[in-house]
Amino acid sequence: MVRHPERPGWWTASVPAAPGARYGFALDGGPALPDPRSRRQPEGPDGPSAVVDHDAYDWRHAWRGRRLPGSVLYELHVGTFTREGTFDAAVERLPHLAALGVTHIELLPVCPFPGRHGWGYEGVSLWAVHEPYGGPDGLKRLVDAAHGHGLGVVLDVVHNHLGPSGNHLPAFGPYFTEAHQTPWGAAINLDGPGSDEVRAYLTGSALAFLRDYRLDGLRLDAVHALADTRAEHFLAALSRAVDALAAHTGRPLFLIAESDLNDPRTTAPRTAHGHGVHAQWNDDFHHALHTALTGESQGYYADFARDPFAALHKTLTGAFFHDGTYSSFRGRSHGRSLDAAKGAVPAHRFLAYAQTHDQIGNRALGDRLSGTGPGPGSGSGSGSGSDSGPGRLSPGRLACAAALVLLGPGTPMLFMGEEWGAGTPWQFFTDHTDPELAEAVRRGRRREFAAHGWA
């Protein structure tokens, strides 16, 4: 290999390889490591990479895309959406979703992670696709079939951390920095020495999924954990790159952020000094709706439980409940009013939902809204809104939740099974092969549950 004359830290070599050929990089005589930009990891994150020819796939459906305004999203986890837990099995369910009126499916992360089962947020190969789900071609078949049914496809991507097992990036460069800390440890290096290449790595991954898999959008996990002090925030740089790709392909492409900052800059246009992300999840609406229906008041619900219907009204009319108000959960004031964006953030830029993978799976029992009975202060009584037994929310209250989500000003999103009031628990799960790591996860979950009064 020879040093690249114009890109510090890059080494190049020309080696003939056919699609499917396995390869890796041995650094300074060490063991072969997978390619950081690997497009396929057939033996998992620690195995060799494999060459993929994306041009070889024969797309069956022409697709010009669907814009976000007027959409209805459906969040699903490929591994648990069907008994088989594969992309191909999910294809068989697409007619149901199209008939339901859904316009986009939103997939939880599909990048490779150790083991067979997991939420996907422990991904470590950010350009590849989890092999047990069906690998690169399996994802293409799902996207192609979805487009054939008139459904767009959004993919959840994780740029704020990598999983604790199978992460080989530190061997290749300064991808992480101790200058910032996150709940997962050292932060992704977005603003320190070498950060140009780190930002290019993440942006390139996002564009590759949108381009090579013909995805319609990306959901950006926990963008509040993207520590970046540079003049142009990484989110603004990413949205600029995605907008350029949309103009090049002639398809509408969008980014949806998960952010707990309640900062109008997230979705304000770049021309209005925002980051230009096209939409964001609105947890404030969820929390207000949840407390109004169930009466729960522990953890982050405490701020909304004082007057849940006033909180619900505020989130329906102004998106943010915390817009500079005091948060007892945080012990400080939080958020900023959308007025600061001077009308640049319309209502459709906020996703409205009664249930998500987080709001179900991060509960101790993984109980869905249908299995969460009204508690003290929920206002339960006679009629269609009364509770239908211990630990159950009535059909009337579930219908109320659906009406507010689907008919409110935000862009609606459902979680898989919500359309028929599924009561099956959906708990957090991983498949770590390291016993110490598995036990560390258990301890961490217990601490989190205790903090929310669920232990």
In whole angstroms, give the CA distance from residue 346 to residue 369: 28
In whole angstroms, give the CA distance from residue 124 to residue 114: 8
Tokens of 284: 């404030």
In whole angstroms, give the CA distance from residue 424 to residue 451: 24
To the query of whether residue 106 is one of the catalytic residues in this protein, the response is no
351: which strand partners? 281, 411
In degrees, rounded to 5, the angle at the alpha carbon of residue 411 between the alpha carbons of residues 266 and 308 is 85
SS (H, E, C) 399-430: HHHHHHHHHCCCEEEEECCHHHCCCCCCCCCC
Which of these is catalytic: 221, 228, 284, 303? 221
261-272 residues labelled b (16+ CB within 10 A) or e (exposed): bbbbbbbbebee
Can you tell me whether residue 350 is helix, strand or coil? strand
447: enclosing H helix or E strand: helix 435-451
To the query of whether residue 258 is one of the catalytic residues in this protein, the response is yes
Which of these is catalytic: 144, 258, 296, 303? 258
285, 316 Cβ separation under 8 angstroms? yes
Which residues are marked as active site? Answer: 221, 258
